[in-house]
Structure 1
């Protein structure tokens, strides 16, 4: 009688059953030996069926024993997966610095910052596995191009030209915002039209006009075109001497104009008259500032111009008369002119001038005293011929050779103005509606 070999790795396999993987569970060392003659549906059965297993041992189906039982050799174990199944794929996040680098590169704004952000974004993307590499690369390229353009603009002066153009565009403003001392160009060809805005330009170059005064208007409602025009006509011609104290500097090519509000600009907040110097010829232009006041003159120039302005003020009050009329008013005026001339001659002689101007100013003061005596003689004349003789000799000392010499020594204009007949202004005598321009917004 042969003894069957014990079960083990050398036990022959069923040729009709595929090979089975080894059991993942260890064999119970305390289990009873298997009955080689007991066969189950899948091979030898280790225990005979019974309510408690063989010999009443616990281990039958449904009654677990005290130790884990090994699975049947023919059973196929369930596969163990390395990770759980994720039914929904979740893509990685987009790097925020890559987006910022792309935006800065497209806008060409702060290209150096965009280039740095792109480099940092690429480093973070490699470490974190984020998306956005293409955006970071594109931002780096665009920022590099922008940085090169900025360097080229700075090297060639293009950046300064751009900034100057920006300031010029920003300086275009409405006329009622002009201030004293501003120079500007008119949008049209003449002042005889409505002005909606002006372009402020430096006074050192060519320009159409220069503001010498602004006159505020009161009231809540628009006073009317006629009233505004009358006030502008009276005020602007009076204020020009305070801005341009040297009348000799105002040539015959310079005229006085004014910009006045309109009902539309009044509602927008325009409440002032703008007095300006402009060229007499519509095709002409001004060059350099006409300002000559306390802000531009030295002490000697200022003292000289004030003294001569006092004489000119009295001479400008000469009454109008014709031959055959009573000359009493003229004789009274001649006496006032003589007194004013004497006072200013004394003021010029009492001041201590610079070494260069001392002699010429002293010679002028001497001539003014002579002119004062002639004015006094004209005031006492009993006939028209005697009055005219003293009148002409007195005027011969006004704006004469000694005046030109003193002005030259003081660094002032040396070309005497041409006074129009019947005009009390040496600036060309323009006025009235010819110098008016409406201002609108």
Structure 2
């Protein structure tokens, strides 16, 4: 299907105010865009991949509705006679209209025919009941295929837009269409509707992306967040899982190699550094939508939160024993955070919008600067800020 998600957190406004205010880059702290990922996060504006949705991708004919109904009835073994008839009708319609779904129509008709045969047999004996239950369960598992966290896959048509009832799990080391970074199970009950499922998927997937790819500086610029979601039809088969994944920004290009960088791939020092970054990012993305001249109190309260986050994480960086080669670079970064913290304290106490802007601008001086790049290099992390970040390139290493 192709169900565009509702937009994520709003993009920052254009620079405004007497001091050329530039709002906080979304999910970007002193270590890059590593915080909660909104639609304007390190992956850019993101289309969604509603993997089980009802709408065909652009340029492809629609799936025949009778074919879907025949497949569902065949799998559930509900009204097998109706499923058989619908399958035959679907085949005629597909041939006449050029629609997709021939495989589903044939599968539904075959399953319904088997159901009719077994139903007739069950009238004279109950020996087939156990077999039939196992057959139906296997059919359900084969129809709803969802890869697990850390797995990579190829979509049938190579596109992350449109509908699919199957994907092929492939090694992440080679080319692939998508890489799963999280799965979320929806509560049971009646189907909540496409809009609510999409909104839930959008919120949860962007929030979980940073836990799988903690160092967003290491993510290529062509990476987007997508997701697979249940539809009304698959919901009736027991599908409750949302699959969050990374894919190419154009929805059709491939990725090569795993994007995972978390506790399974990072060492303890890298993890400590990035966890501090995530905490600062979490405060940064809470910047009020209203400008200081519109709501000074809200902006002052947020500036205090920034001060507190920098104080806590700066202290954490100073307290840790770092490897010999990283000790001095991380200490220099901690000093820079302390200087920025003082400006955020002044912004939190500003009596007017103009004063707030002055210290706001100064407070962002730490963001993705040379000290951040040098500390990252010493810890073996990526040193190229994400596209659009304000950092400078890494200094040349001494030979």
1:382 is paired with a residue whose SS is coil
Alignment correspondent of 1:384: 353
Alignment correspondent of 2:235: 266
Alignment correspondent of 2:289: 320
Q: After TM superposition, where is structure 1 displaced by more than 6 Å over at least 4 residues in a row?
A: none
Q: Which runs of 5 or more residues in structure 1 are unaligned?
A: 1-172, 421-441
Alignment correspondent of 1:255: 224
2:246 is paired with a residue whose SS is strand
On the 8 A contact 2:156/2:167 being kept in 1, the answer is yes
1:9-62 deviation per Cα after TM superposition (whole angstroms, max 9, x unaligned) = xxxxxxxxxxxxxxxxxxxxxxxxxxxxxxxxxxxxxxxxxxxxxxxxxxxxxx
Distance 1:186 1:417 in 2: 28
Alignment correspondent of 2:371: 402
Q: Does 1:282 align with 2:261?
A: no
On the 8 A contact 2:283/2:306 being kept in 1, the answer is yes
Greater relative contact order (Cα 8 A, min sep 6): structure 1 or 2?
2
On the 8 A contact 1:337/1:375 being kept in 2, the answer is yes
Q: Does 1:338 align with 2:307?
A: yes
Bigger radius of gyration among the two: 1
On the 8 A contact 1:176/1:274 being kept in 2, the answer is no
Deviation at 1:318, TM superposition (A): 0.5
State the superposition RMSD in angstroms: 2.0
Deviation at 1:410, TM superposition (A): 1.1
On the 8 A contact 1:378/1:387 being kept in 2, the answer is yes
1:238 to 187, 195, 207: 207
1:287-333 deviation per Cα after TM superposition (whole angstroms, max 9, x unaligned) = 22111111111100010001111111101100012474131211111
1:351 to 320, 323, 326: 320
Deviation at 1:174, TM superposition (A): 5.9
Q: Does 1:304 align with 2:270?
A: no
Distance 1:190 1:406 in 2: 39
| Equivalenced residues, count | 249
TM-score normalised by structure 1 residue count: 0.54
2:205 is paired with a residue whose SS is helix
Q: Which runs of 5 or more residues in structure 2 are unaligned?
A: 1-141, 390-399
Distance 1:336 1:366 in 2: 19
Alignment correspondent of 2:137: none
Q: Does 1:192 align with 2:161?
A: yes
Alignment correspondent of 1:372: 341
Distance 1:372 1:195, change over 3 A: same
Distance 2:337 2:189 in 1: 51
2:384 is paired with a residue whose SS is coil
Deviation at 1:361, TM superposition (A): 0.8
Which sits farther off after the overlay, 192-201 or 220-229?
A: 220-229
